[in-house]
Structure formats: structure tokens, C-alpha cells
A = this chain, B = another copy of it.
Amino acid sequence: MKTNPRRNPLGIAFVGGRTDRADHIRSNEDLLAAQYTPAARLLRLSGLDPVISAEGNLEWGSLADAADDAELVFLGLRDGRACFAPVPAAGSTAPANPALWQAMATLDGDELATYGAARAMVDWHARHRFCARCGQPTRLAKGGWQRNCTAETCRAEHFPRVDPVTIMLVEHDDRLLLGRQPRFPAGSYSALAGFVEPGEAIEEAVAREVLEEAGVVVRDVSYVGSQPWPFPSSLMIGCHAYADHPALTIDHTELEDARWFSRAEVEDAVQAIERGEGGQAFRSPPRTAVANALLRWWVER
């Protein structure tokens, strides 16, 4: 995955797309209607997965490739051309499969960001065909940036969902606290993470998650960087915090293990994963994960 240092200084995957979302078009019925032309491009998807060419690029077709009754999301303009993505029959039910990760590793930063945005959008549509307020069917509107309830008595408007998640490096005595979930590959450890809940600031969510999962009190939470994560549609908010006391009380319903790793161990792991290998002490998350960027940021700081 190649990223653009100017658009994306921390080299975070799914960041740095060049698609112009063209809000002035999608919020204007006439301008939007004028985009459905033979010159418009349709992102090729297999369900929610990308179709990757032999050269390692996203494949695009034309609107003629879409089924007659397909719902289409207007992604915006790329090189001046309108781009759409088709809503599949079913939304996501499981995390992305390993073959998808492999395919995505070949995309450059712009294409990965384009795919991620498209996937999050079409997946949201596939999982929101009914109105949460009244139960009646909803219909795609504003080029896919809205769904409207079709019931005359309701007419609720629904908007694509983005779930903020905090993910944090906790530091004590030049060591980092990392944990592993049972579903992780063998030897893998990553930053602790959790959804921001209603009524919480980012800093409060960080403190609560670390206390819940590892029994550690943190201070001086700071923001490092963010990532849109399209499985299904999170905003990963990467943070750093300090702990004064390293004793751990692990919540084993959430984590299989959590441990403190030295700077040398972290440095070794992020270098090893570039070769597709585990490190001496643990296996780093891959480049696609924001946790990888956070670990590289900490090592290089």
C-alpha cells in the first residue's frame, strides 16, 4: 500500500482518497440527475468485496452494468467523471475475509480510500432498507447520502452511520500496553480499542475502555490520528495516554491477554510485519490497521 505523505503524514490506510465528494451535486436534484450518463463509472463489486484487476487496481464498469432495479450511490467525481457504486442484496454479516485483505494490500492509498468509502456506504444501504422509527420501507435519496421513509405518516430521514471508536497506546516507563483478542492471529497484539458511547468525550471513552479492559488508570490523553474503517463503518480515533501504575487486571470476556512491551520489542515487531513476519515478542497489526500507524508513530517519535 503506497500512501501520499502530504495528504496522509502517518501513512494510515483508507486515508488520502482523491475522490471529490461534490456535495453541491448530490444536494441538487437537477445536477445529480445529469450525472447518470454513459460516461459515468460504476465501481465493480462482488457483494461488498472489490474486484481487483491483474494490475492490482480497482475495476470500473459503466452504469449499463448495473441491474435495472439496483440502488446506486453517487461517490463523487474522479478526474471529472461521476462515479457510482451499486448496493448489494445483503449487507455485511462477518468481518472481512483474509482473501480481501490480500487483495487490498495491492491497492494504492487513493484506491483503498475510494473502495473503503464505497463499501461503508453500500453496506449501510443494504442494512437500512427499513425505517427504524416506524418499520416501513425506506428509499435511497440524494445520491445515496440519505434514505427517506416511504410512509406518509412518518417521512423520517436517515443518514449514513459512522461509529466513532477510540484506539489507544497506553505508555508507562517507555513501554506500551497491548492486548489480544481470541480472534487475532497467533502471537498478535494490538492497541486496546472500544466504541465511544453516547455522553462521552473522546478522552473519557479512552479512560473508560482502558480501565474496563485492563484495570489501568490513564492520564494526559492526546490525539494522534484517525482512520475511516469500513468494516462496517467506524471512525478510528487514535490516541496516546500515560499510565502511572502498570499493574493489570484483565477483563477476560474482552481480552485473551494484555502485556507491556518495550520500545525495542515494538520496533522489532513493526519492522518484521513489513516482511510479513511476526516479531520476537509479538506480531504487529498489518499496515491496513490504524494500530500499525500508531505503533510506527510511537517508535519514530
Binds B, one of A29-37, A46-54, A219-227, A281-289: A219-227
How many angstroms from the CA of A27 to the CA of B251 in the assembled complex?
Answer: 12
With CB as the reference atom, state the residue of chain B lying closest to A204: B15
Q: Counting CB contacts under 8 A, is A258 at the interface?
A: no
In the complex, what residues of B have CB within 8 A of residue A212's CB? 23-24
Copies in the complex: 2
In the complex, what residues of B have CB within 8 A of residue A278's CB? none
Q: Counting CB contacts under 8 A, is A228 at the interface?
A: yes
How many angstroms from the CA of A163 to the CA of B162 in the assembled complex?
Answer: 6
In the complex, what residues of B have CB within 8 A of residue A134's CB? 130
Binds B, one of A60-68, A99-107, A119-127: A119-127
Q: Counting CB contacts under 8 A, is A202 at the interface?
A: yes
In the complex, what residues of B have CB within 8 A of residue A137's CB? 135
Q: Counting CB contacts under 8 A, is A129 at the interface?
A: yes
In the complex, what residues of B have CB within 8 A of residue A12's CB? 201
Residues of A that sit less than 8 Å from B by CB: 12, 14-15, 17, 21, 23-24, 27, 91, 113-114, 116-118, 120-121, 124, 127-138, 145, 156, 158-164, 195-204, 208, 212, 223, 225-228, 230, 233, 235, 237, 251, 253
Q: Which 9 A-B pairs have the closest CB atoms?
A: A117-B199, A130-B135, A120-B198, A223-B223, A202-B226, A128-B132, A135-B135, A201-B226, A164-B164
